[in-house]
Amino acid sequence: MNIGNLIKISLRALSNNKMRAFLTMLGIIIGVASVITMLAIGQGSKKSIQSQISEMGSNMIMIQPGAGMMGGVRQSSSDMQSLKLEDYYAIRDKTSFVASVSPSVSSGGQFIYGGNNYPASISGVTPEYLDIRKLTIDQGNIFSRQQVVSATKVCVVGKTITKNLFPNGDNPIGKVIRFNKIPFTIIGTLKEKGYNSMGMDQDNIVLAPYTTIQKRVLAITYIHEIFTSALSENVTDKATSEISAILRTNHKLKAADKDDFNVRSQKELSTMLTSTTDILTILLACIAGISLLVGGIGIMNIMYVSVTERTREIGLRMSIGAKGKDILSQFLIEAIIISFTGGIIGIIIGVGASFLIKLVISWPISIQPYSVFLSFLVCTVTGIFFGWYPAKKASQLDPIEALRYE
């Protein structure tokens, strides 16, 4: 019997039990739709994290003091004073894989303008900090190198600061705000960046010359952090090793001594976060894949019922010349049609559900072609796998016993 006739017979048999065929497909539909949706959510989250890290500076490297002992008490890295301006100068002048360097000192307090106030921190940096952190001036200018040298009381503010101190929409350029009673003249504003992947407001930022914060706010000579950017993301590891070697030499550390500083790169953060999202994506896909397994078991159960109900029909077909392979092919084709149709419907629902999630809750999604192909392939294989055994059983029925079956 040719394949065309077998397909017609299989379609006729399924159409005679439309509701049962649909309910059998339902497990496959839910499974395929779930896998596509879960993978779309996982991949969307991964791409969103990578994009936001890239916006922060994917080749950024941060140097912080290491935790240590002081007076017999273990100190946190923020309390240590192991980073000096000499370290900043050494990194700036001696590195081969670093594009930009900026020291950083910061202090928290209250910003006041007129009757408005807002709690935030002020960071003392150099103009290179904007390149390192991928920040862009919206209005006005960044402070000059001369203003850094002279410790001028000027600053650049982010949108969050502007909105809270100037709620009426006044132009902040040229206005004088106070930070812990110290006046700062606003000479520039930064373009809005929004929240990052860790929920931090990137616009809640005030930048000033690091010398101003050192001398006029904190009265210190050391620095809290050093921010650098590698020439490219590909040489980040080389830049990190180079910086570590320079700092160890500067700090006169022996081979057996531990670093009194920490060097961290955005590449490490990116690798960690993407690894976490990959694990979560796989977990979500596995959970969704259980639906495909349940759908496959449903196909096998229904095919068993179908074989039992149509035992006399099978006996009759075999008695007039149908071979075992024809009966096997017929029932196997029915299983494939169920899984194939369920897969197509599942793909449509999965893609639609993914875009609905993006539309309703603004969750980033990314539908990968491989997830659609893989889901469809798995559901087809599932149909063949779970449909084969009942079909094999039907093909091995004895025609005489089948005709006697009540």
3-state secondary structure the chain: CCHHHHHHHHHHHHHCCHHHHHHHHHHHHHHHHHHHHHHHHHHHHHHHHHHHHHHHHCCEEEEEECCEEECCEEECHHHCCCCCHHHHHHHHHHCCCEEEEEEEEEEEEEEEECCEEEEEEEEEECCHHHHHCCCCEEEECCCCHHHHHCCCCEEEECHHHHHHHCCCCCCCCCCEEEECCEEEEEEEEECCCCECCCCCECCCCEEEEHHHHHHHHHCCCCCCEEEEEECCHHHHHHHHHHHHHHHHHHCCCCCCCCCCEEEEEHHHHHHHHHHHHHHHHHHHHHHHHHHHHHHHHHHHHHHHHHHHHCHHHHHHHHHCCCCHHHHHHHHHHHHHHHHHHHHHHHHHHHHHHHHHHHHHHCCCCCCCHHHHHHHHHHHHHHHHHHHHHHHHHHHCCCHHHHHHCC
What is the rounded average pLDDT of the residues 383-400? 68
Give the percent of the chain with pLDDT over 70.
79
Beta bridge partners of 116: 113
What is the band of 176 on the pLDDT scale with cuts at 50, 70, 90? very high
Phi/psi of residue 54, nearest 5 degrees: -65, -40
Spatial neighbors of 137 by CB under 8 A, at least 6 apart, are: 130, 156, 188, 189, 190, 191
* Better-scored residue on pLDDT, 41 or 325: 41
Most confident of 54-58, 123-127, 197-201: 123-127
User: Which two structure tokens, joined as six digits, stand for 173?
Assistant: 């350029």
Interval 232-280: pLDDT, tens: 878 888 999 999 999 999 988 888 888 888 888 876 666 666 677 777 7
Q: Which residue has the higher pLDDT, 400 or 74?
A: 400
- Among 31-40, 349-358, 392-401, top mean pLDDT goes to 349-358
Q: Which amino acid is at 38?
A: M
Please, which pLDDT band fits residue 318 given cuts at 50, 70 and 90? low
What would the two tokens of residue 123 be?
């960071």
* Burial grade of 262 (CB within 10 A; 0-12, 13-18, 19 or more): middle
Of residues 82 and 156, the one with the higher pLDDT is 156
Least confident of 75-79, 358-362, 371-375: 75-79
pLDDT above 60 (res 218): yes
Averaged over 189-207, what is the pLDDT?
Answer: 82
- Work out the pLDDT band at 70, boundaries 50, 70, 90: very low
pLDDT at residue 26 greater than cutoff 90:
no
Residues 78-95 pLDDT 10s: 556 788 999 999 999 998
Q: How confident is the model at residue 394 (pLDDT cuts 50, 70, 90)?
A: low
CA dist., res. 194 & res. 263, Å (int): 26
pLDDT surpassing 70 at residue 317? no
* Lowest mean pLDDT segment, chosen from 167-171, 172-176, 249-253, 388-392: 388-392
Report yes or no: 16 and 339 within 8 Å, Cβ to Cβ.
no
Q: Residue 199 has what pLDDT?
A: 66
Tokens of 242: 């180079």
Among the listed ranges 121-125, 219-223, 252-256, 291-295, which one has the minimum average pLDDT value? 291-295
127-131, 141-145, 369-373: which has the minimum mean pLDDT? 369-373
What is the pLDDT confidence band of residue 401, given thresholds at 50, 70 and 90?
low
Amino acid at 340: F
Instruction: Name the amino acid, one letter, at 334.
Output: E
pLDDT value, residue 276: 72
For the chain, the first-to-last Cα distance in angstroms comes to: 27
* Average pLDDT of the segment spanning 188-214: 86
pTM: 0.62
Torsion of CA 38, 39, 41, 47, to 10 degrees: 170
The pLDDT value recorded for residue 80 is 65
Question: For position 59, what pLDDT does the model report?
Answer: 80
Query: Residue 73 pLDDT > 50, yes or no?
Result: no
Query: Torsions phi, psi of 242, nearest 5?
Result: -65, -45
Cβ-based neighbours of 101, under 8 Å, separated by 6 or more: 88, 91, 92, 95, 126, 128, 132, 226, 227, 228
Indicate the pLDDT class of residue 164, thresholds 50, 70 and 90.
very high
